[in-house]
Chains A and B, each alone.
Chain A
Amino acid sequence: MPAVSFPTIEFAAFFVVVFVLSWALMPHPRAWRPFILLASYVFYGWLDWRWVLLLVGSTLVNTFASHVIARSPSQATRKRALIAAVTFDLALLGVFKYLGFFVSEVDDALDSIGLGSPLPLLQIVLPIGISFFTFQAISYVVDVYRGETRAAPLGDVAILQAFFPHLVAGPIVRANELLPQLRTPRDPREVLAGPGLFLIVGGLIKKTVVADELARNVVDPVFNDPSAHSGLETLLAIYGFAAQIYCDFSGYTDMAIGLALLLGFQLPQNFNRPYLALSLQDFWRRWHMTLSRWLRDYLYIPLGGNRGGPRRTIRNLMLTMLLGGLWHGAAWTFVIWGGIHGGAMSIERWTREHFRGFHIPAWLAWLITFHVVCLAWIFFRSPDLSTAFDMIGQVFAGGPSPLVTLPMVFLVVATVGLQAVPGDFWERAEAWLVARPVVAQGVAIGLLMVAADAAVGQEGVAPFIYFQF
């Protein structure tokens, strides 16, 4: 998956060219805007140019709808335009992401009641990043409707949706976060290089040294054949997947945020040390923060949030998390993943309301939260439900454990342990890096890139997990 994946030679060459031209054209917004848009479309269309047409179509429809909403004095017209745009966005997602699954399920159902198999099975290619740019489009048009942002010109909306650092796997950016930045030329004397370079190199290391190593040596072998592995290996694979998916996904978004910073733009934070969470609610404030805020603002609150009493609150929580699960794909494993999170958050809420004075120690709250998250990850990672239940059953199995090695245990412990390092430590490290001479910075980063490539070896960097969503 070249070009759309950051750790590739093609992307490095692409980024150097874009970096130079972007800063060169920055003082001339009329030239810079078409340039950055074209660069983003080249990035996205590298694998399949038809995907760009889809993205352009989404931009045109949502821009048109936002202008109707902004200009129409009639509330009914505004509402109709909003409904039309959101329906279009969801239909796009539905066709590419769920139609194949839906047709196949209906076909099976018809077959089971003796009506044969009348429906054609559909081979639909899922365009990379469609879930992300669709959610972003919905967010924009709803924000215009709510008056939280002004309807922007077509070019700005196109850049908002297609800006290549966040296009493929987020963060999901809201209009009022990026549009104001697009309207003000960035200052080339004040590039936030410290966090930018740190995030890019850190993200690369998270992906190559931790995520891919754990996947190759523990997680994939055990999830592929749980019954052939001992309880210890199964446990390590479960914890290992928790570390893998964090390093894989946060590694990608770290790189995305870092690349945007080098171009002068700040994207929202997407992860904030999630495995330190002391409750599921806390976890969702720290994990995939831009998705959880999207679900909160555009689903949970419109459903009624916590305004309709405890029962309604629990219903809304469950619905939000189940749909959040389905957002990842049409599979029962994702539904159960969402269900576990929704159920656990509902229990937390119920417990808080019924045992107000009762507090459990922080270490116990952390332990429970972490293990509920890990339990849910089992379903998320398993190809089907039977594998997930096999994994759970296998935790209690005996037998030799050759996959439980010190380096793998260390990677899991380090992934969780490093999250406890205070944020200002990293900030000091970033300032220290930026204070070094340019040559020293370049050599150090270059050597770290060589080390990261050596970690993955000749098999190369595996595709990022969230590309499939």
Chain B
Amino acid sequence: MEPRSRNPLTMPAGSVLGVIMIALTVAALFNSEAIVRAGESMQPGHTRDVVLSVGRPLDDVAGAIGLHLPRKGFDLAFGQESKTATGTELEQGSTAILRANRRKRRAPGFIQPTQQDEVNVFVTGDSQAQFVGEILTDLLPSDLFDVSVVARNATGLTNPEFFNWEINAQQEIAARNPDAVVMVMGGNDGFNVLHEGTVYGPDDPNWQLEYARRAAVVMRELGSNGKRPVYWVPPPTARDPKFNEIYATQNKAVEQAAAAVDGARYVDIYNTINQGRYSDELKIDGRRVLARQSDGVHFSREGAVVPARLILRAMAKDYRVLRADASG
């Protein structure tokens, strides 16, 4: 037997291991949903497989014996709402939503901003939304447009088990009731999707169809069926050719979805920036800047000026006051 420790702050290493293992077991059991969610947020690979293969059965057991309750209590205490759910239209639904909407041809009449009544713009999406949203905030006249930016890192449409954008759109629209929405989204969407009972990878035409359907579902929620414009910005070109292919497919899918949903606008930054060729640097106002971050996907803060201006140009079609800014 180990002699008793003299320092009141010390313990034998074996006991410390006991504390660590019990703490991790308690945390894993009471937080099994979070483990599954963390696994689902990871990129495909061994780590993700291991985390999910441990997390899912643990979650089933924990859920069955009511161990989710303390976490739900903590969520309530911290005001956290569930951003995911099962059985939503985002996960499974009809492609009928993609049928061209005749009403869309009507000229929309969105509320125009005045000095007394600003237009509230809600910029959201994945991590790419952060800098683009910040620059858009700078570009829009602050006395006429009030912009808020919420970037949900690592999220996408092909992984609703981790983050369900349909649910989130409903929550955000109910809480904020914005006049316009900008959605910058798609950098994390390389996952396979389930379409009519079959799993499709991004290189399959059915993946594009399913992606378009999911985009349309979220567009409809964000726009409340045409009540407000939704400017949807799929990813730009990427340095990695594999990502580039997926992003091209996403752009086609979003274009298809936007054509079908009232108030939805497809903002093309894939084909327009540098004529669709990837480049780390871009010329902005006659000056060369490092426009992309080292991952070859995200814009740098300086580079985010380019997509933000393209969004501004798209907004100018709906907001007369921006026409001078967009052409300038």
Contact = CB atoms under 8 A, between A and B. Distances in A.
Q: Do the two shown chains form a genuine complex with each other?
A: yes
Interface of A: 2, 8-10, 12, 15-16, 19-20, 23, 100, 104, 107-108, 111, 117, 121-125, 188-197, 221, 224-225, 227-228, 262, 264, 383, 427, 430-431, 434-435, 438-439, 441-443, 445-447, 449-451, 453-455, 457-460
Interface string B16-28: 1111111111110
Contacts of A228: 137, 142, 146-147
Contacts of A227: 142
B194 interface: no
16 contacts: A23-B13, A121-B288, A125-B294, A196-B16, A197-B16, A225-B137, A227-B142, A228-B146, A438-B19, A441-B19, A447-B26, A449-B27, A454-B71, A454-B77, A458-B163, A459-B153
A224 B134 contact: yes
B287 A431 contact: no
Interface stretch (B1-9, B108-116, B204-212, B266-274): B1-9
A343 B26 CA distance: 51
Interface string B63-85: 00000001100110110101110
B24 to A, nearest CB: 6
B38 A460 contact: yes
B47 A458 contact: no
Contacts of A125: 294
Given A121-B280, A125-B294, A447 B30 contact: yes
- The 4 A-B residue pairs with the shortest CB-CB distance, nearest first, are A442-B22, A446-B26, A454-B74, A194-B9
A450 B31 contact: yes
Contact of B18 (A188, A196, A438, A453): A438
B12 A189 contact: yes
Nearest to A444: B23
Interface residues of B, number: 68
Contact of A225 (B7, B12, B147): B147
Nearest to A447: B26
A337 to B, nearest CB: 18
B20 to A, nearest CB: 6
B290 A100 contact: yes
Nearest to B73: A454
A121 B84 contact: no
Contact of B24 (A12, A122, A221, A225): A12
A196 B30 CA distance: 23
Contacts of B149: 221, 224-225
B34 interface: yes
A228 B119 CA distance: 12
Interface in B84-123: 84
Contacts of B133: 224
Contacts of B3: 189
Contact of A449 (B23, B51, B80, B281): B23
Contacts of A8: 38
Contact of A123 (B82, B292, B301): B292
Given A124-B294, A451-B74, 6 more contacts: A190-B12, A442-B21, A449-B27, A457-B83, A460-B38, A460-B41
Contacts of A225: 134, 137, 142, 147-149
A124 B293 CA distance: 9
Contacts of B51: 9
Contacts of A454: 71, 74-75, 77-78, 80
A262 B16 CA distance: 8
A64 to B, nearest CB: 31
Given A9-B38, A108-B287, A191 B11 contact: yes
B21 to A, nearest CB: 7
Contacts of B137: 224-225, 228
A225 B35 CA distance: 35
**Most A Cβ at <10 Å: residue of B9, B30, B133, B149:** B9
Contact of A438 (B22, B147, B152, B162): B22
Interface in B35-60: 35, 37-39, 41-42, 47, 51
B8 A434 contact: yes
Interface string B143-172: 000111100111000000011000000000
Nearest to A190: B10
A46 to B, nearest CB: 9
